């Protein structure tokens, strides 16, 4: 499987990425090996992910999420929370 994910950083910022091993990638972020952006903003917490069959699909979704405004990303997270509460 391939994943597009969003993590919330210690400073409250959101980082979007893709991976084929979600658990390993989150660990790498928290060890300072994940991405330059998250290295100085640890710890990070996984707040959202989607699964895809191909890496191309995951990368495409990552691109689209990264182009969203902060408000649009928060709306995506709020919609997920609403679904989980039902």
Q: What is the pTM of this model?
A: 0.92
Domain count, the chain: 1
Burial of 40-69, coded b for 16+ CB within 10 Å and e otherwise, reads ebeebeeebbbebeeeeebeebbeebeeee
33-84 pLDDT, tens digit per residue, is: 999 999 999 999 999 999 999 999 999 999 999 999 999 999 999 987 655 5
Using alpha carbons, select from 53, 13, 7, 51 the residue that is nearest to residue 27. Answer: 7
Say which CATH number the domain at 27 has. Answer: 3.40.1440.10
Helices (H) and strands (E) in the chain, counts: 4, 3
Q: Are 25 and 44 in contact (CB under 8 A)?
A: no
Residue 40 sits in which domain range?
2-85
């Amino acid at each position: 499987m391939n994943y597009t994910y969003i993590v919330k950083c210690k400073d409250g910022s959101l980082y979007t990425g893709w991976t084929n091993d979600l658990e390993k990638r989150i660990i790498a972020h928290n060890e300072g090996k994940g991405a330059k952006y998250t290295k100085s903003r640890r710890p990070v917490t996984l707040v959202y992910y989607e699964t895809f069959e191909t890496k191309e699909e995951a990368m495409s979704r990552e691109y689209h999420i990264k182009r969203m405004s902060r408000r649009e990303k928060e709306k995506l997270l709020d919609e997920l929370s609403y679904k989980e509460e039902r």
